[in-house]
A and B are shown apart, each in its own frame.
Chain A
Amino acid sequence: MDWLEEELRNALARKEPSPDFAARVHDAVRRPRTVFNIRPWLAAAASLIVMGSAGGAAWRHHQGVQAKQRVMLAVRITAAKLNQIQNHVREVNR
């Protein structure tokens, strides 16, 4: 077990820090910390949500108007054909 003890002794032996260690720590403490500011992100996210929902509503309205126009066209075509047929039937029945 001598080799193991030797290894442990080496690993756990007291080691002196490098000469510039104190200076580096001091520098790190004095350096201004960059703080993550959440406010602009929140504002951007909020405006994205508002723009998204407004765009969604506009798109939905556009789709609705298109659907309405297609329904009106369908009814127009069908009504015209039925009216034509009714007219012929009325004439025959006269």
Chain B
Amino acid sequence: MRRNAAALVAAWLVLPLNAQQFKFNLEHLESKASNTVDLSLSGSTLRFAAKFLDDDDEDEVKVKKLINGLEGIYIKAFEFKTAGAWSQADVEQLRTQLRTPEWSRIVGVKSAEDDCNAEVYVRNEKGKVSGVAIIATGTTSLTVVNIVGPVDLDSLADLSGHLGVPKLQSKPGRKM
């Protein structure tokens, strides 16, 4: 009986960790930020929300298809009024958590012109994509995303240009 109770408590403690694949540990930036977005959408919330997505709306149909099978979406996004509000240590502690055999960095972007540094990591388990992590930083912004579950990055990126998000087009003749 006591062993069962201990197992239940252990399962309860482990569950939130399993849901989100790495910890953001960025709460200390909230007081410095002028804008904060903190989204924790568990699998059950995604399934519940999917019921309210409109089947007659093209974008919402795409979103419904995209979130189908996902186990969670976790986002922390900060905007700051001044530079230097976040430190490299804040980003490094995220990278450290992603330096495990399951995670592999697939893209790293550094652009002085756009003030945009971004990295995309993919988590593979048993030969299948089981998660995605995005770390995007600017001088006055920091965004961390963890999508838990199988996700099609191309179709997700294609959603910009829809949903009220302007689709960025490459500037002709621009070189990095």
A94 to B171, CA, bound (A): 11
Is B49 a contact partner of A79 (Cβ separation < 8 A)?
no
Closest residue to A91 on the B side, CB-wise? Answer: B170
Contact with B along A49-80 (1 / 0, CB 8 A): 00000000000010111011011111111111
* Least CB distance, B170 to chain A, in whole angstroms: 5
Query: Contact between A81 and B163 (Cβ–Cβ < 8 Å)?
Result: no
Contact A78 B49 (CB under 8 A): no
In the assembly, what is the distance between CA of A85 and CA of B157, in Å?
A: 9
> Interface size on A (CB < 8 Å)?
30
Distance in Å from the Cβ of B169 to the closest Cβ of chain A?
Answer: 7
CA distance A70 to B73 in the complex (A): 10
Q: How would you classify the secondary structure of chain A's contact residues: helix, strand, loop or mixed?
A: helix
Q: State whether the Cβ of A4 lies closer than 8 Å to any Cβ in chain B.
A: no
Complex CA distance for A77 and B165, rounded to whole angstroms? 8
Decide yes or no: A80 and B160 within 8 Å by CB, A72-B63, A87-B168 being known contacts.
yes
User: In this assembly, does B93 line the interface, its C-beta being within 8 Å of a C-beta of chain A?
Assistant: no
User: Is B163 a contact partner of A76 (Cβ separation < 8 A)?
Assistant: yes
- Are A73's CB and B39's CB within 8 A? yes
A86 to B, closest residue via Cβ: B157
Contacts of B171 in A (CB 8 A): 91
A78-B175 in contact (CB<8A): no
Interface presence of A42 (CB below 8 A): no
Contact A79 B134 (CB under 8 A): no
Residues of B within 8 A of A18 (CB): none
**Once bound together, how far apart are the Cα atoms of A40 and B33, in whole Å?**
58
Flag whether A34 is at the interface (Cβ < 8 A): no
Within the assembled complex, what's the spacing in Å between the Cα atoms of A79 and B59?
A: 12
Q: Which of A64, A79, A89, A90 contacts B160 (CB 8 A)?
A: A79
Residues of chain A whose beta carbon lies under 8 Å from any beta carbon of chain B: 61, 63-65, 67-68, 70-92, 94
- Closest CB pairs A-B (n = 3): A67-B49, A83-B160, A82-B157
